Chains A and B, each alone.
Chain A
Amino acid sequence: MATIELESIVKTFGAVRALDGFDLRVESGEIHGFLGPNGSGKSTTMRVLLGLLRADSGRVRLLGGDPWRQAPDLHRRLAYVPGEVNLWPNLTGGEVIDLLGRMRGGLDERRRADLLERFELDPARKARTYSKGNRQKVALVAALASRVELYLLDEPTSGLDPLMEAEFQRAVHELREEGATVLLSSHILAEVEALCDRVSIIRAGVNVQSGTLAELRHLTRTTVIAETVRPAAGLARIEGVHHVQNEDHRVVMEVESDRLEAVVRALADLGIASLQAHPPTLEELFLREYGEEVSA
């Protein structure tokens, strides 16, 4: 049985169609990446899944129940990190973590202590004195310290520095080993690539692509910029290389991620003076696939 099933969900806010016939399926035990640019409907989806918003039409199943009618029972079995973390300014981080854990039905003391240490969070400070990143850490510790079946994480790393982001990725790997299901929304392709078994891409309230990372491989092209000793010619003939722009000794091209090896070898033959490669951003991906700008 799937942990999350959304079928043709429509959710409007006045004239805005935040979800427009949206489908999503997340199987039990999978880490599911939920990718989309800002304003595409990720947070709205999370809130429909939590029963905070009611879908105008469509079918919602979460852990086998209806989140609008059975929210309290279902919420005992899940933990949520909101996209924008708002804490009670007069409570300390430690108090917030305990309070949320207790209202959810308890948290794992060992994990609480462990996570506080790993995220380097001082639980004695009032929430009003925390930075955005620290507020996010409070919400993360509160969620991850609960042993539940499902974790709904709405852009949980948007305020974290790279060190903490690595720590977060380790924590998600541990959840996978325990067999938990995770829905992780993000607008950063690389993050989802690093963590997820399956990915769904949302654009303007519509699921435009769902599949395993391997299936989505063709979407993830790496941009390669190189300066070569000899004039760079013939690269466009290599399979998996696209959009080659060539000016004598300088070449810019997009390479399918599983074809990098052949390209690097060819470049080496030409003599590499400098080499840069960066993974595609979600914005580039959308630009290429749908030929339109998306606002970041």
Chain B
Amino acid sequence: MSPSHEAPRSRPLAGTGHLVRLILRRDRVRLPIWLMGLAGVTAASANAVIGLYDTPEERAGYRATVENSAVTRLMAGIPYDTDTLGGIISYELTALTGIVVSLMVIFLVVRHTRAEEESGSAELVRSAAIGRHAAIAATLSVALGAAVVAGLLESAVLIASGIGSGPALLFGAGVAGLGLVFTAVAAAAAQLTSSARAALGIAGAVLAVFLVLRGVGAIDETALTWLSPFGWQDAIRPFGESAEAWPLLLMLGLSIVFFALASWLVARRDFGAGLLRGRPGRTRAAAGLAGPTALALRQQRGLLLGWAVGLGLLSIVFGGVGREMQTMIESNPDIAAVIAGSVDDITRGYFAYVMTLLGVTTSAFAVSSALRLRHAEESGHAENVLATAVSRSRWAWSGIAVTAAGTTALLLVVSLVTSVSHAVVSGDRALLWPVVRAGLVTLPGALVLAGFAVLLHAWAPRWALLAWAPVAWAFVQAYLGELLDLPGVLAGLSPFWHLPRVPVEATDAAPVVLLSALAVVLAIAGVLGLRRRDLATT
């Protein structure tokens, strides 16, 4: 959309200060929560490590475990300097803090650029005496400021825990550097698409690719880690003999590349938008577009396709890496001795872990799809449908059916692609079906989270977005659960924790059936709630 009232070209940044204050005001709750959450986790984790690993023997035990765990390497990178306390803290925290700070700036940037423009409030702002690049400049300033504050907070917390101030500052700088990189990534993603959701998807996909590159590279310590800013963050090695600051320069360089891409896209986008506008569409609806199910499918097919492509790529990588697991163990008899398990056990453990992680990731689609009912209601689209001969129940069940079918289809893609990718790379067909089963067995977990979203939307519409909390928790549990060694009560809050760890364990039917039943009950309760309350009106 090209703004119709352009501010004088001579002052494209006029009003940036105003907008910075506006953003800070609007985020006065959200931003502190991100930052305090980050500092809180860091403090808790640092103290736990100090308590657990205060003797060299304990540290050696830790080192042996993480050195030889491919799964740990996949999620947290190469374990550097784990013979020191600081090194262990750094290893425990690098992945989590890096991801949190990246997500923080991605959400922030997209919310204040794309989402704004989409909702039209940007037009209001632009028609005031505000320069044409002021909005993006203000957003990026706030995001960069937030990244720097996050880094400083990390350093401060570590220093307070008694870690030397030099390494603590370097660690904080690494966190801030990642914030910088993903501010730039999000800025480019926001210019690339016309919807906030799609921009979040693109930035999230870049994040996932960088994480996977670092993780896969770390398993064999190959050069792949150097293709990812997360790998650079590890390479700083703040607690090593030879701590390095120069990887920070790589982060700076990559940010500049993405910022350049973003500004190139800004120039192009106005031009392109004009070109796209004239293209005529269908004058009649296709014969199939005749009811709420077809409508829901039509509204979500882009979302579904995007997820299928993203998860499909991730699955190829995760499936292919299965072989690395075998190579690593076969080439190193010591490891095999430490782990005291067969090659087959390790590979199965890897796939149990990875398929759960992919299942949890798929649940994010399930929840965002389930929340489309909420979007339909808030945007007034539901009013259009419900004023026709479509009942509340039919409307709600149509949405739920599309969510359930979409989630199932995604998990099928994920399971088949991972399995086939592993079979092709390793030439070993033994795990073909077990891996597929491992993926499909997570379906009830994803559906329970979607059902919970429907229930919240129906009975407590104001709190509907809390449906994301269990997704985040399930992700933390699946991703870092073993590392954090959570007590069962906490871990059990994730539905996925209750499911059998196929292919390590047998496919026990009881939890699968129970969780599926729970998902159905949640959905029914949700539909009953939607039938009895007022429709939210615009």
Contacts and interface: CB of A to CB of B under 8 A. Distances in A.
Contact of A125 (B280, B384, B386, B537): B280
B280 A103 contact: no
B384 A71 contact: no
B4 to A, nearest CB: 13
Contacts of B292: 103
Given A99-B290, A102-B291, A103-B292, A71 B386 contact: yes
Nearest to B387: A80
B268 interface: no
B29 interface: no
Interface string A99-124: 11011110000000000000000111
A86 B381 contact: yes
Contacts of A126: 281
Contacts of A76: 389
A91 B535 contact: no
- Centre residue among B281, B289, B390, B538 by max chain A CB count within 10 A: B281
A231 interface: no
Nearest to B379: A86
Nearest to B294: A99
B388 A104 contact: yes
A72 interface: yes
B281 A124 contact: yes
Given A52-B383, A129-B277, A104 B299 contact: no
A105 B387 CA distance: 12
A7 interface: no
A18 to B, nearest CB: 10
A73 B389 contact: yes
Interface residues of A, number: 37
A84 interface: yes
A203 interface: no
Interface in B520-538: 534-535, 537-538
Contacts of B298: 90-91
B282 interface: yes
B509 interface: no
A17 B213 CA distance: 59
A53 interface: yes
Contacts of B277: 129
A82 B277 CA distance: 27
A284 interface: no
A189 B351 CA distance: 71
A54 B384 contact: no
B295 interface: yes
A41 interface: no
Nearest to A75: B389
A86 B534 contact: no
A104 B389 contact: yes
B25 interface: no
B388 A75 contact: yes
A53 B299 contact: no
Contact of B384 (A47, A100, A102, A124): A100
B47 interface: no
Given A98-B289, A99-B285, A103-B291, A72 B383 contact: no
Nearest to B532: A54
Given A94-B283, A105-B389, A125-B281, A99 B381 contact: no
A126 B391 CA distance: 27
A90 B383 contact: no
Contacts of A124: 280-283
Contacts of B99: none
Given A98-B284, A124-B280, A124-B282, A50 B387 contact: yes
Contacts of B32: none
A99 B295 contact: yes
Interface in A247-262: none
Interface string A49-89: 01011100000000000000001110110001010101110
Contacts of B379: 86
B380 A82 contact: yes
B385 interface: yes
Contacts of A52: 383, 386-387, 534-535, 537
Interface in B394-415: 394
B524 to A, nearest CB: 19
Nearest to B385: A103
- Centre residue among A43, A52, A53, A96 by max chain B CB count within 10 A: A52
A92 interface: yes
A105 B390 CA distance: 10
Contact of A53 (B289, B290, B391, B535): B535
Contacts of A122: 280
Interface string B292-314: 10010011000000000000000
B383 A86 contact: yes
A75 B390 CA distance: 8
- Centre residue among B290, B385, B386 by max chain A CB count within 10 A: B386
Contacts of A47: 383, 535, 537
A92 B391 contact: no
16 contacts: A47-B535, A52-B383, A52-B387, A72-B389, A72-B391, A75-B389, A82-B387, A86-B538, A87-B384, A90-B299, A94-B285, A97-B285, A104-B388, A105-B389, A123-B284, A125-B281
Interface of B: 277, 280-285, 289-292, 295, 298-299, 379-381, 383-392, 394, 534-535, 537-538
Interface of A: 43, 47, 50, 52-54, 71-73, 75-76, 80, 82, 84, 86-88, 90-92, 94-100, 102-105, 122-126, 129
Q: Which 4 A-B pairs have the closest CB atoms?
A: A86-B380, A98-B285, A124-B280, A103-B388
Given A52-B387, A100-B384, 6 more contacts: A91-B285, A94-B281, A102-B289, A123-B283, A124-B282, A129-B277
